[in-house]
A and B are shown apart, each in its own frame.
Chain A
């Protein structure tokens, strides 16, 4: 297989470089015609915040990965990029890499749930731009199957692996029905926003945002369909919330133990969860001594994240097994593609003999007899080739045991010396791919 590819990812380069090379949808759409024109007959461009990858089948032999890197840098010229920032993949290695990416085990956050959708979307762009063929379609279908199987058959995607999500996981261990709970998010920065979004996604009944800059609070409140509490009145409203997540950049404590004690009296002891995901801390850690107050800071939430990350790492061998199973399955199918050209070769071989013999008797018999002989020989060749053709086609359609397929095609090639005949090989690919596709439909 002549699939080749390059990847720049979290293992090979810094965040700055990855960010600089990130391609949005429009940029991918404008890069693909250039790749199609200069390098690949079919391929795909995957670009996320942690990786940019280009894979494809070169139009001509001898085209190296450097030309792919060249095209990418032409589309996105950046300084400081070096060849060693790219990993290169060939043939089976490229397919295996793609399967690993789709399964999430190659992601920076192992088991990342978004990558499968991103792989799918990348291939859809290729299909829209007529940059996808039957082999690449089969590769991506299998990659998506790998991703789905990994999620279904293992726990690679389970458990919170970010502090914001871990805080929501703790909240779920305290409250059963989040729809009836109200949450306050203090700080509208990146962490606060993430926490607010997680709370919204978990169906928390009411979300309120408080931030020193009221405009930012309003923006985030709009995003999560929440309300705002002016920062200066924050402490008067503490008792109204079951969940308080604080994520400001303040250097001093924002919530003190006495204020929580007062709030708890007003709440008549109903529990409250306080999540301090700020560094330095926003909430006085002494609040944890108060009954029915559940206080967690970055250190404690990090314990959950680390535990879940470890659990996901333990799932990698299981996912790798799925990758290998699907890789074997894919190559079993791929290798059966040899059958189609063999069928064509053997038919050409017999047809050539038939025409040659007909030519010899053409002038020795009447036109009427010649027509009869011509019909008879056509039927005879057809009947002679019927069984081997059906058998071989059957192997190709069912993706049968590769050893059996290879042995049979090899015997046929050897017996009839078919190597000298045309349509023998996958590199004249498009015609064969299409014929295989048609065969499958049959």
Chain B
């Protein structure tokens, strides 16, 4: 099993790189010959990645959420998986390279630094924790994807305003579609983040005696949740169009990243397991 894990650990960055390269090639060249090749390679990558995560769980007897690099691998997988579902639902393929790039970065870092981890605190073997962490990570993946589409929206918007009709104009879908993709990704991210927060609030006080509602990670996540909540509600109620919603999405992304950096690196929290 350990040999399989090592092999998959080497194979995964290569598969993500291949996916990224094929999507990038398709973006620049738009060759009919590429057809479904990019989608098939991504699908294979996701299957291999899920197998890898299962292998880690079986081998180490806990879900792979106990170290930064295990979590990085899950983020890479959830970004790829979320994008894959979005592509299947919308059949918009021109944006894959921009999203898969994040999976490549997370998986490469994970593969380089990850190590065997047999001994973990008992609390990390809890199933509710697994659900809490996975929903939070999928939520953050939604936020990342929403931000990527937000940036693409912004690029196309500027290109259209400035009469630039190059690659961005030719290969990206319409502004309305980019906005929709960004919005849907944000909504999915928001729902999963809500789930993570709810599970956390139910389970954390029982699991950790020093639990505090003013914990930096909890307040940081709540703040991110609020930004997206306001953005999504405004879009529904005030019919917030395109650029204004995209600004919300990008602000939310910046807040989320800042919150993660601060709470994981600078602040002291019970919420740190590694």
Q: Which of A's residues lie within 8 Å of B, judged by CB?
A: 170, 172-177, 268-271, 288, 291-292, 294, 296, 299-300, 303-304, 307
B43 within 8 A of A: no
Query: In the assembled complex, how far is the CB of residue B164 from the closest CB belonging to chain A, in whole angstroms?
Result: 9
Stretch at the interface among B11-19, B73-81, B155-163, B188-196: B155-163
- Please state if A303 and B165 are interface contacts (CB–CB under 8 Å): yes
- Please provide the 10 A-B residue pairs with the shortest distance between their CB atoms, ordered closest to farther: A176-B176, A300-B163, A176-B177, A176-B174, A304-B165, A174-B175, A270-B241, A173-B174, A294-B160, A175-B176
Which A residues lie within 8 Å of B165 (CB)? 300, 303-304, 307
- Please state if B176 and A288 are interface contacts (CB–CB under 8 Å): no
- Please state if A176 and B173 are interface contacts (CB–CB under 8 Å): yes
Q: A176-B174, A271-B175 are in contact. List 14 more A-B contacts (CB 8 A).
A: A172-B174, A173-B175, A174-B176, A175-B175, A176-B180, A177-B176, A271-B241, A271-B242, A288-B161, A292-B241, A294-B160, A299-B163, A300-B163, A304-B165
Main secondary structure of the interface of B (DSSP, over half): helix
Contact of B161 among A172, A268, A270, A294 (CB under 8 A): A294
CB-based nearest A residue for B244? A269
Contact with A along B216-260 (1 / 0, CB 8 A): 000000000000000000000001011110000000000000000
> What CA separation (Å) do A269 and B239 show in the bound complex?
10
> What CA separation (Å) do A270 and B169 show in the bound complex?
21
Interchain residue pairs with CB less than 8 A apart (6) = A173-B175, A174-B175, A175-B174, A269-B244, A270-B239, A300-B163
Give the interface residue-count category, chain B: 10 to 19
A303 with B163, Cβ < 8 A, contacts A173-B169, A175-B174 known: yes
Which A residues lie within 8 Å of B174 (CB)? 172-176
CB-based nearest A residue for B159? A173
- Please state if A170 and B243 are interface contacts (CB–CB under 8 Å): no
Which B residues lie within 8 Å of A173 (CB)? 156, 160, 169, 172, 174-175
Query: In the assembled complex, how far is the CB of residue B247 from the closest CB belonging to chain A, in whole angstroms?
Result: 11
Which A residues lie within 8 Å of B242 (CB)? 271, 292
Which A residues lie within 8 Å of B156 (CB)? 173
Query: In the assembled complex, how far is the CB of residue A399 from the closest CB belonging to chain B, in whole angstroms?
Result: 29
Which A residues lie within 8 Å of B160 (CB)? 170, 173-174, 294
Residue in B163, B180, B241 whose Cβ sees the most chain A Cβ within 10 Å:
B163
